[in-house]
Structure 1
Amino acid sequence: MARRALILIEGGPWGCGLLYVQAAQRLGLHPINLSADPTEHNYLGAECEAIRVDTGDLDALIRECSRLRATHDIAGIICAEEEVYATVGKLCQYFDLPGPNPASIERCCDKFAQRQLLAEADIPIPAYRLAANATDVERSAAEIGLPVIVKPAVGSGSVGVRLCRTADELDEHTTYLLSGKHIWQSSPRVLVEEFAQGPHYLAAMMGNEVIGFGAAKYGPPPHFVFRQLTFPAQLTDDQRERIADVSLSSLRTLGLGWGPTNIEVRWTERGPVVIEVNPRLAAAPEPQLLQLAYGIDLISEHIKLVIGDEWSLRKTHSYTAVAQSLIPDRDGTLDWIGGERRAAAVSGVAEVKFCVEPKTPIVRKGDYRDRIGYIIAASPSRTETEAILQRAVNLINWSITPFPTPGEHV
């Protein structure tokens, strides 16, 4: 009898790959990873069969999946990485398997196209302009008014995203984006947006259902480096209702509503303003927080959806779960990082994870790559969870030796 397999294209977003592999195994599936570079995924090997294939080539993926189908019962094809999620949708269509609508995913991943569709539907979003060159950027910023957010029209993880408060900052970041230093996922197009100010919330969704709302905190501007995420967010009934309404309206407008989605919203003077609709599972540690806060294993439920099984978002409890990122305050060489075991031993700490090894060069980029680790804590009490988290964070230490300055002897 052919082995029932789940095909995982690339990994999961920033640390979710292992969670997918483990969930697949718990569900009795044999996980097979197709990746352009399997060595990038440290959970492979004993945990998961790995096959090297150009995941940017749909025909190559079809050939490989067809080959696998000769010896395996392919139950489903899954992914949560934005760069290849539309391709996964096309694969699912080709093999007549449940999957996301690739056209909707492609439209949504183009932030300008997403903005246009939301604006046409009168969904509240920041004022925006599309720019192809420095002159366009300068004119767009003048029309919107400083400060503005300047970012690539296609991308994720806050890569290339900056708050520009002055003309000099605008010129500096525009030069960075268009001078060849930024690695573009598509043709160079810049989005210039109004800076919508107010608390930042995340709506975690599956299908057309809202799972819950998280409150996100970021490091100091001009960057948007995630520092802390809390589920559930402290919201009034009116705020919850209005954020849910604008989130569901966004899904309908963008042709989404299949699988996991996460929607970023700022609560401004005019109420909820949609910052971004991400048509995929959110990056770790959000899935872990949802499970700790509500008892919902979103990754397992996503797999059940993909393989055509019945899935459920039934909540089994109500805790407060908080994740704290570990962010270095300088560039240099990481001499050592420690305290993981002591922090993990604190009652109420669910996970302590280091993303780097000693002797790693640390070069802060002002995006998700700055994170060198994170800690997650949970308890029935918000106050107690915050206290648990702080105790654990205080037990983590590291040392970074700054890089030598030019001409300095080492």
Structure 2
Amino acid sequence: MATRALILVEGGPWGCGLLYVQAAQRLGLRPIILSADPASTQYDNFASERTETICVDTDDLDALIRECSRLRATYGIAGITSQEEEVYATVGKLCGHFNLPGPNPASVERCCDKFTQRELLAEAGVPMPAYRVAVNATEVESAAAEIGLPVILKPTVGGGSSGVRLCRNVDELAEHTAYLLGGKHIRVPSPIQRKWQSSPRVLVEESAEGPLYWADIMGDQIIGIGTGDFGPAPHFVYRGSTMPALLTDNEHKRIADVSLSCLRALGLGWGPTGIEFRWTTRGPVVIEVNPRLHGTPTPQLVQAAYGVDLITEHIKLAIGDQCDLSTRHSQTAAARFLVADRDGILDWIHGDSRAADIPGVAEAKFYVPLKTPIVRKGDWRDCIGHVVAASPSVAQTEAIIQRAVHLIDWSITPFPTLGE
């Protein structure tokens, strides 16, 4: 009998890709990664997992079909999936070609275009911040004047807060408009990002004020609702998160109702969805709907809080198995991000192993190898690690995570200045 394989299209951002590999192996599957850049440092930790990584243009559906067809001569392909939003619509098309369970590619594509997403949600009456779309600096300025400063500027495609900034005055507005329209926020263009570069559009949004919440959903079932906070403006770099959020029954119901309205409006409901909100004077307003799992360490947070392994359950769906979303336990889980404090070279890390040994700590992890050059971008790439902890109470979890973070230290040597 042929070995059953799980095809992963790209390995996913730091951390999540390895979690998918490990979960696949626990399910008795052979994980095979198809990547446009298998030499990327994100795959450095995969070597010990005995994975097979194949170089293929993951922007090219025909090339992916040919590679999967070739692999079928050796393996039984049990499923195809990914955690990366940029290729998730392509994954849906691949699944359709090979008659495997997967996401609806049209729904994913609509959701990945943030303006299209906004339009569909607006048609369904979903509460959102005021928004406009702009294609040049004049339109950005006009939209900001209509909405009123401060506003959020963001590209219409992308994730991880890349290119997202709070603009508090006309100078910041002009500066960030030039940055976005120049495509400087795009690190490695995907097909939708290349399309964006050829026809750039910028979302100008009302700055919604209030606590941040998010919902993690599998299918149409809400697994949990968490809360988090960002570092200082004008950027949106996560500093910490907690699950479950302290909500009244009515607040929980309002977020849950809006979440399900988003799924219906966008044609989602297969596999994972992550939705972010701000609780304003109007109640929960939708900031963003992601047709995928939230990035690391949210899956670890959900598992620590409820005992539900979202990654394993996502893989089960992808291979046609019945998933089990039942809660195994109920604890308060929290994550703290370790955020780079300067640009430079990461020279040393101390204390992460001691922090991991503290009772109640589920994970203490760095994503960035030593000697890596770090250039802060004001987005997810500024996070170099995290700590996750859980206990029966909010106060106890907070005490555990504070103790763990206090043990961890690192050094970043600034880059030499000109003339040194």
Q: TM-score, normalised by structure 1?
A: 0.97
In structure 2, the residue matched to 1:226 is 238
Aligned residue type for 1:105 = V
2:341 aligned with 1:339: no
Taking the aligned partners of 1:115 and 1:178, their CA distance within structure 2 comes to 20
In structure 2, the residue matched to 1:161 is 164
Residue deviations 1:306-350, cap 9 Å, x none? 111111110011011111001122222323221111111211111
CA drift of 1:403 comes to 2.6
- Judged with a 3 Å threshold, the aligned counterparts in structure 2 of structure 1 residues 307 and 357 are, in CA distance, closer, same or farther, namely closer
Taking the aligned partners of 1:234 and 1:34, their CA distance within structure 2 comes to 41
Between stretches 338-347 and 255-264, larger displacement belongs to 338-347
Aligned residue type for 1:78 = T
Corresponding residue to 2:402 among 380, 390, 393: 390
The secondary structure found in structure 2 opposite 1:65 is helix
In structure 1, the residue matched to 2:286 is 274
The 8 Å contact of residues 10 and 33 in structure 1, kept in 2 or not, is answered as: yes
* Percentage of pairs with the same residue: 70
Aligned residue type for 2:220 = N
Aligned residue type for 1:354 = F
| Structure 2 unaligned regions, length at least 5 | none
Corresponding residue to 2:53 among 50, 54, 73: 50
In structure 1, the residue matched to 2:110 is 107
Corresponding residue to 2:155 among 148, 152, 157: 152
In structure 2, the residue matched to 1:247 is 259
The secondary structure found in structure 2 opposite 1:39 is coil
Taking the aligned partners of 1:383 and 1:232, their CA distance within structure 2 comes to 13
Taking the aligned partners of 1:105 and 1:80, their CA distance within structure 2 comes to 12
CA drift of 1:179 comes to 3.0
In structure 1, the residue matched to 2:38 is 38
The 8 Å contact of residues 197 and 268 in structure 1, kept in 2 or not, is answered as: yes
CA drift of 1:404 comes to 3.0
The 8 Å contact of residues 15 and 367 in structure 2, kept in 1 or not, is answered as: no
Q: What does 1:275-290 align with in structure 2 at a 5 Å threshold?
A: 275-290=287-302
CA drift of 1:216 comes to 1.1
The secondary structure found in structure 2 opposite 1:372 is strand
In structure 2, the residue matched to 1:84 is 87
The secondary structure found in structure 1 opposite 2:70 is helix
The 8 Å contact of residues 348 and 370 in structure 2, kept in 1 or not, is answered as: yes
In structure 1, the residue matched to 2:339 is 327
CA drift of 1:399 comes to 1.9
Corresponding residue to 1:264 among 272, 276, 282: 276
In structure 2, the residue matched to 1:16 is 16
Give structure 1 regions of 4+ aligned residues with deviation exceeding 4 angstroms.
none
- Judged with a 3 Å threshold, the aligned counterparts in structure 2 of structure 1 residues 124 and 219 are, in CA distance, closer, same or farther, namely same
The secondary structure found in structure 2 opposite 1:220 is coil
The 8 Å contact of residues 352 and 375 in structure 1, kept in 2 or not, is answered as: yes
Aligned residue type for 2:21 = V
The 8 Å contact of residues 126 and 193 in structure 1, kept in 2 or not, is answered as: yes
Aligned residue type for 1:265 = F
Corresponding residue to 2:227 among 197, 202, 215: 215
- Judged with a 3 Å threshold, the aligned counterparts in structure 2 of structure 1 residues 199 and 405 are, in CA distance, closer, same or farther, namely same
Corresponding residue to 1:205 among 213, 217, 226: 217
Residue deviations 1:281-305, cap 9 Å, x none? 1101010111110010111111111
2:26 aligned with 1:26: yes
| Structure 1 unaligned regions, length at least 5 | none
Taking the aligned partners of 2:106 and 2:13, their CA distance within structure 1 comes to 21
In structure 2, the residue matched to 1:175 is 178
2:141 aligned with 1:138: yes
The secondary structure found in structure 2 opposite 1:105 is helix
The 8 Å contact of residues 144 and 193 in structure 1, kept in 2 or not, is answered as: yes
Taking the aligned partners of 1:329 and 1:32, their CA distance within structure 2 comes to 36
CA drift of 1:13 comes to 3.7
2:208 aligned with 1:196: yes
CA drift of 1:50 comes to 1.3
In structure 2, the residue matched to 1:7 is 7
Residue deviations 1:177-206, cap 9 Å, x none? 123433261321111000111000010000
CA drift of 1:72 comes to 1.1
In structure 1, the residue matched to 2:379 is 367
Taking the aligned partners of 2:307 and 2:184, their CA distance within structure 1 comes to 43
- Judged with a 3 Å threshold, the aligned counterparts in structure 2 of structure 1 residues 387 and 337 are, in CA distance, closer, same or farther, namely same
In structure 2, the residue matched to 1:97 is 100
CA drift of 1:123 comes to 0.5
- Judged with a 3 Å threshold, the aligned counterparts in structure 2 of structure 1 residues 330 and 45 are, in CA distance, closer, same or farther, namely closer
Taking the aligned partners of 2:319 and 2:334, their CA distance within structure 1 comes to 31
Taking the aligned partners of 2:183 and 2:332, their CA distance within structure 1 comes to 44
Taking the aligned partners of 2:46 and 2:389, their CA distance within structure 1 comes to 27
2:301 aligned with 1:298: no
The 8 Å contact of residues 38 and 44 in structure 1, kept in 2 or not, is answered as: no
Taking the aligned partners of 1:12 and 1:331, their CA distance within structure 2 comes to 24
Q: TM-score, normalised by structure 2?
A: 0.95
Taking the aligned partners of 2:362 and 2:53, their CA distance within structure 1 comes to 29
The secondary structure found in structure 1 opposite 2:44 is coil
Between stretches 163-172 and 350-359, larger displacement belongs to 350-359
Taking the aligned partners of 1:259 and 1:334, their CA distance within structure 2 comes to 37
CA drift of 1:46 comes to 4.2
Taking the aligned partners of 2:322 and 2:172, their CA distance within structure 1 comes to 51
In structure 1, the residue matched to 2:411 is 399
